[in-house]
């Protein structure tokens, strides 16, 4: 029994044998028409799908998880030789903890020398104020209260020296005044002597005057020679001359007393002028020394480099004790503890005009190799006002910051699994939706842009 197969063609039903007898031409035409029909159906279906299928435009950017506010760089303004290294890469530190120490022996010597000079000038100033105001002893400066032990020793030594200086200065002044007072006393005694001699001379003048008057009467009567009268007259004249000499010497002594008193006053005035000038100079020196001492102590305190915040040490660049840290170099960085994590994305310049603060952004953590992890929705919180240039590739980009709310991050937790650990440095992909469009519009955009430029070419 022979089986017969039938082939159905539009409007005709033929057997296989009859189809074979028709020849290859009709079969090829049929296959071509069937292929064209299938292609047409696919093309029409694809156009229908493309015309309605949503394929929204978005700005794509690669990013990385960073700490909000960025890392805090640890630097040293002056630099120096490292004498001790207290931390290693990845160590957790507290704010204020010593990270490394620099050799500050030279700065320490300068600070001690400046401190000694400041305390000496402060003590000298206190002594000069005591001299100016006539105080019995210098008053300890307020700056000397509550000093550290090593500074208190310097301050006490300076005050002791100035107290001895004040005592010696006053002893010298008293001695000088004593000499001048003794000289004035001697001159006063001389004046008293001259006055006594004047009194005696006047008495002699009176007696000689009486004797001369009687002798003149006797000589007029012829009872006494004239030579005797002349002798008494010469003696009286000599007494008058002696009287004038005594008066002149007494006046000279009184003038000497006046000069002595003037010298005493002049000495006191000159000493006071010197005290005021030294006091003014002390103020000038203190105004110069105190800022220098403060700067030296500030530099000395920076010999211990401390953590600016609590966090983790990353990017350690010094490893050897005895190594040299250049001024201003970044020695390490601190990733702040408990600081919120955000995404820092690099937006292409062509898309920067379409991205704005407050815009929604879809985030995918590419570091997690679990395909079931969903896209997270974040928000653009910052966008740089100017572009940056990658130093390695030379590519231009705008810096955007995307924040993902905690409720979105909670979606990373899968049932029965631990949530992936988020940490700084993880790579991410960010897509910021720009506008609604269909797949057909996406396919036609390059052609439209090409036609737009072509119609404007010369």
**Position with higher pLDDT, 300 vs 210:** 300
Q: Are 67 and 73 in contact (CB under 8 A)?
A: no
pLDDT at 4: 45
What are the tokens at 9? Answer: 């063609």
User: Does domain 57-69+339-454 match CATH 3.40.50.300?
Assistant: no
Percentage, residues of the chain above pLDDT 70: 81
What is the arrangement of strands in the sheet containing 324-325, beginning at the earlier edge strand?
304-306, 98-102, 80-85, 324-325
Q: Of 119-123, 196-200, 268-272, 322-326, which gets the smallest average pLDDT?
A: 196-200
Q: Please give the helix or strand (H or E) that residue 85 lies within, else none.
A: strand 80-85
CATH fold group of domain 72-102+304-330:
OB fold (Dihydrolipoamide Acetyltransferase, E2P) (2.40.50)
The pTM (predicted TM-score) of the whole model is 0.55
> Domain 107-301 maps to which CATH number in 1.10.3470, 1.10.1660, 1.10.287, 3.40.228?
1.10.287
Name the residue among 430, 447, 451, 445 with its Cα closest to residue 355: 430
Name the residue among 108, 74, 76, 99 with its Cα closest to residue 326: 76
pLDDT at 9: 47
- Identify any residues that bridge with 396 across adjacent strands, giving them in sequence order: 389
**Position with higher pLDDT, 445 vs 8:** 445
Q: Are 5 and 16 in contact (CB under 8 A)?
A: yes
The pLDDT tens digits of the residues spanning 429-441 come to: 888 776 555 545 5
CA-to-CA distance for 169 and 130, rounded, in angstroms?
Answer: 12
pLDDT above 90 for 35: no
What are the tokens at 318? Answer: 């010094």
**Position with higher pLDDT, 131 vs 368:** 131
Query: Around Cβ 215, how many Cβ atoms within 10 Å?
Result: 21
Mean per-residue pLDDT for 264-272? Answer: 84
What's the farthest any 2 CA atoms get from each other in the chain? 228
The pLDDT tens digits of the residues spanning 143-165 come to: 898 899 999 999 999 999 999 99
What phi and psi values does residue 419 have, to the nearest 5 degrees? -70, 135
Work out the pLDDT band at 127, boundaries 50, 70, 90. Answer: very high
């Amino acid at each position: 029994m022979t089986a017969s197969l039938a082939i159905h063609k539009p409007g005709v039903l033929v057997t296989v044998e009859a189809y074979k007898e028709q020849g290859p031409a009709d079969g090829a035409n049929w296959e071509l028409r069937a292929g064209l029909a299938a292609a047409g159906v696919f093309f029409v279906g694809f156009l229908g799908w493309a015309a309605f299928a949503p394929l929204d435009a978005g700005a794509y950017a690669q990013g990385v998880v960073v700490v909000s506010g960025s890392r805090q760089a640890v630097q040293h303004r002056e630099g120096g030789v490292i004498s001790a290294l207290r931390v290693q890469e990845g160590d957790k530190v507290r704010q204020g903890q010593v990270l490394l120490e620099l050799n500050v022996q030279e700065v320490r010597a300068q600070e001690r020398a400046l401190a000694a000079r400041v305390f000496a000038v402060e003590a000298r100033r206190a002594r000069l104020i005591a001299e100016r105001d006539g105080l019995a002893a210098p008053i300890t400066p307020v700056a000397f209260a509550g000093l550290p032990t090593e500074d208190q020793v310097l301050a006490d030594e300076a005050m002791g020296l100035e107290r001895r200086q004040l005592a010696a200065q006053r002893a010298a002044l008293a001695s000088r005044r004593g000499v001048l007072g003794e000289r004035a006393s001697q001159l006063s005694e001389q004046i008293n002597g001259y006055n006594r001699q004047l009194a005696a001379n006047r008495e002699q003048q009176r007696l000689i005057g009486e004797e001369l008057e009687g002798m003149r009467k006797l000589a007029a009567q012829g009872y006494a020679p004239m030579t005797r009268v002349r002798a008494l007259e010469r003696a009286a004249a000599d007494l008058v001359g002696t009287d004038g000499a005594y008066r002149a010497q007494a006046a000279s002594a009184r003038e000497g007393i006046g000069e002595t008193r003037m010298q005493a006053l002049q000495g006191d005035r000159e000493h006071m002028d010197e005290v005021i000038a030294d006091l003014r100079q002390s103020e000038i020196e203190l105004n110069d020394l105190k800022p220098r001492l403060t700067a030296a102590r500030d530099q000395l305190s920076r010999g211990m480099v401390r953590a600016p915040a609590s966090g983790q040490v990353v990017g350690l660049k010094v490893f050897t004790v005895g190594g040299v840290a250049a001024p201003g170099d970044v020695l390490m960085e601190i990733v702040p503890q408990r600081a919120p994590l955000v995404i820092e994305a690099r937006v292409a310049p062509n898309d920067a005009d379409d991205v704005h603060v407050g815009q929604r952004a879809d985030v995918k953590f590419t570091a997690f190799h679990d395909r079931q992890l969903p896209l997270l929705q974040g928000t653009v919180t910052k966008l740089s006002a100017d572009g940056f240039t990658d130093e390695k590739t030379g590519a231009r980009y705008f810096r955007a910051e995307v924040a993902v709310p905690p409720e979105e991050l909670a979606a990373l937790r899968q049932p029965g699994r631990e949530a992936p650990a988020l940490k700084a440095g993880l790579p991410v992909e960010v897509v910021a939706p720009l506008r609604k469009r269909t797949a057909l519009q996406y396919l036609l955009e390059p052609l439209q842009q090409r036609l737009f430029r072509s119609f404007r070419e010369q």
